[in-house]
Structures are given as structure tokens and as C-alpha cells.
Amino acid sequence: AHSYVKYNDWANIEAWVSSISSGNPALISRSSLGKTYEGRNMHLLKIGKNTGSTKPAIFMDCGIHAREWISPAFCQWFVQEAVTTYGSDAQMTSLLDTLDIFVLPVFNVDGYEYSWKSERMWRKTRSRNSGSSCIGTDPNRNFDAGWCTVGASSNPCSDTYCGPSVESEIESQNVANFIRKNKSIIKAYLTIHSYSQLLLFPYSYKYGQAKDHAELTSVAASASEALRSLYGTRYTSGPGATTIYLAAGGSDDWAYDLGVKYSFTFELRDTGRYGFLLPESQIKPTCEETMLAVKYIAAHVQKNL
């Protein structure tokens, strides 16, 4: 059965998508971005008060990388927190009255399922590679942002394989197509990973500063401070290239260069003690503290509409 304080497999997440949507028809509508390589549905939830007209929006995805289980757990937590605090929490209410938040609970569904059923440390998609017996592409090296120039591999057996071409993965295509189509309303792009306790913004494919560097630096620092205020968890924030490493083809850089100014990558808990195997006892505190950072960013977006 589904639980917010446990890691949920894909069957439980799909059941949750249905129940949370049907249980909150005034705030949630569901759709699909399309199918994955293996034919699973990329369920998308839109959370927001229906105003009868098109609202500006924030797009957030979780589970680009299969083994980062805390990430989908956060997307589920976020949706639940949004619907249960709407009407009582002034900030959440105002947010959902003004903005729609698109949540993709699991981006790399095939990989996620594989990490449950076969190989816990799987990262990539599950697509076949011609001329190789190695499986999968790193979806976060597959976007059109300096594609495969740096910090990515052209070897299909590598965990950071960039794929045979830009957006070769159907999952990347589905996400990129949706964001391109809704480019005029999407004001922020948030992508949730683990681990390392970082809040990153463009660029990662080059050392050059983003034109919004000053604003992004200050938003990321304040969001990290908000996160830390709950349990003292320390985050480092900064451009990807100088904060972790140069790595091209990421969704954050791609969204930013498309024109989505507020583009952030979260690397959730921890800093390596458990790494990807973060104990379930940390799901609740991790999600609660991350809510504060996401809400800070969302409030900043709202203020700057």
C-alpha cells in the first residue's frame, strides 16, 4: 500500500496518482506526458485552484535518476502537502490561487521500476543501444544544452551516457515537448535529485555565468537558509559547474536557455553516509525541510510574475 513515509514502488505510485487526483478534484487534474520506452505512462499532476483561465506555472520533476528514491518521495509529499494545507496555510493558498504547479512524480519510470525489481543502483533509462549490449542513457545528459561536450560519456556502458543524439530518449522528449509547448506560462523549472545537499542553478555545461546569476544566487541562498531553519540541514548553493562539476545535457540548463529563468536542481539528503540508500526514517524530515525551500522559490516566482 502507498505510504508517504516509505518508498513506494511504481504500482503504488500509480495507484496514488489515481487516488490523490480523484480525492481532490478541485485542486488536482491529471494527464500524461506520454509513454516511456517500455510503455509505462508518464503521469503528470497539475495542482492549482481552477480560475477558469490559464495561469502561470511551475514545473517540477522527480526521479530523473532511478536510484534516487528520495526524489519521487518528495514529489508525492509535495502534492499531499499542497492539497492538505491549501485553505489553511496562507502561503500555499495564495500560491495555488495564482499559479499552477505541474508535478511529474517519476520522470524515469522504467529505470525506477528496474531499481526496485533488479538493480537498486540503476541510474539511467532502459532503452536498448544499437551496437552495444549495455542498456540505457542518462536522461540528465540527454537534453539540448551543450549536449555531450563535457561531463558526459559517449560510451553506452557508462552511467553518464549522453545517448546517440539529443533527446534520443522518449522520456526526455516527452518532458521537453511539454515544456516547449507551455513555455509562455512556465516560469520555473525545478528538478529533484539526490544526494549531496545542494541547490544548483545554471550553468553546468559551461563556466560562464547565467545572465540572471545575481538573482539566482540570492534566491538559492535564501531557499537554502529556509531549508536549514527546520532541522539545521546545510545546503551549498551555486552554479552547477563550480559547485559540483561541469556536465552537459542537463534539463536545468536546457530549460534555462529556453527562457525559464528560475531553473533549479535540488540534490536532497544526505552527504554520503547513506547516499542513495537514505533510510525511510529520513523521508519525513527531508521532505518537510525541502518544502520550505520549494515554497520560498515559488513565493519568489509569484512575487516576480
Binding site for Zn ion (CB under 5 A): 65, 68, 193
Pick 61 or 187: Cβ nearer Zn ion: 61
Pick 3 or 154: Cβ nearer ligand 0X9: 154
The backbone torsions φ and ψ at residue 55, rounded to the nearest 5 degrees and listed phi first, read -105, 155
135: left (phi over 0), alpha (psi -120 to 50) or beta: beta
Please report how close the Cβ of residue 46 comes to ligand 0X9 at its closest, in angstroms: 25
The backbone torsions φ and ψ at residue 215, rounded to the nearest 5 degrees and listed phi first, read -65, -45
Q: Which amino acid is at 21?
A: S
Please report how close the Cβ of residue 163 comes to ligand 0X9 at its closest, in angstroms: 13
Is 61 one of the binding residues for ligand 0X9 (CB under 6 A)? no
User: Residues binding ligand 0X9: what is the number (CB under 6 A)?
Assistant: 14
Pick 27 or 247: Cβ nearer ligand 0X9: 247
d(C-alpha 34, C-alpha 45), whole Å: 13
Pick 100 or 267: Cβ nearer ligand 0X9: 267
Pick 16 or 78: Cβ nearer Zn ion: 78
Catalytic residue of the set 267, 280, 288, 289: 267
Is 113 one of the binding residues for ligand 0X9 (CB under 6 A)? no
d(C-alpha 158, C-alpha 148), whole Å: 13
267 counts as catalytic: yes
Please report how close the Cβ of residue 175 comes to Zn ion at its closest, in angstroms: 14
Please report how close the Cβ of residue 51 comes to Zn ion at its closest, in angstroms: 25
Beta bridge partners of 229: none
Q: Which of residues 168, 174, 224, 265 is near ligand 0X9 by CB under 6 A?
A: 265
Q: By the 8 A CB rule, do 157 and 132 touch?
A: yes
The 235-264 contact track toward ligand 0X9, x by CB under 6 A, reads: -----x---x--x--x-xx-----------
Distances (CA, A) of 55 to 40, 47, 86, 98, 196: 29, 11, 17, 7, 34
Q: Which residue is nearest to ligand 0X9 (CB)?
A: 250
Please report how close the Cβ of residue 79 comes to ligand 0X9 at its closest, in angstroms: 21
Q: Which of residues 46, 65, 67, 124 is near ligand 0X9 by CB under 6 A?
A: 65
d(C-alpha 64, C-alpha 218), whole Å: 26
Is 124 one of the binding residues for ligand 0X9 (CB under 6 A)? no
- Burial class from Cβ neighbours inside 10 Å (0-12, 13-18, 19+) for residue 212 reads middle
Pick 181 or 273: Cβ nearer Zn ion: 273
The position carrying cell 557508462 is 158
Please report how close the Cβ of residue 97 comes to ligand 0X9 at its closest, in angstroms: 32
Residues 6 or more apart whose CB falls under 8 angstroms from that of 73 comprise 4, 7, 8, 283, 286, 287
The backbone torsions φ and ψ at residue 186, rounded to the nearest 5 degrees and listed phi first, read -80, 115
Q: By the 8 A CB rule, do 253 and 203 touch?
A: yes
Question: Looking only at Cα atoms, what is the longest distance across the chain?
Answer: 56
Residue 191: name the closest of 262, 115, 123 by CA: 262
The 284-303 contact track toward ligand 0X9, x by CB under 6 A, reads: --------------------
- Hey, which residues are catalytic here? 267
Chain positions contacting ligand 0X9, by CB under 6 A: 65, 68, 140, 193, 200, 204, 240, 244, 247, 250, 252-253, 265, 267
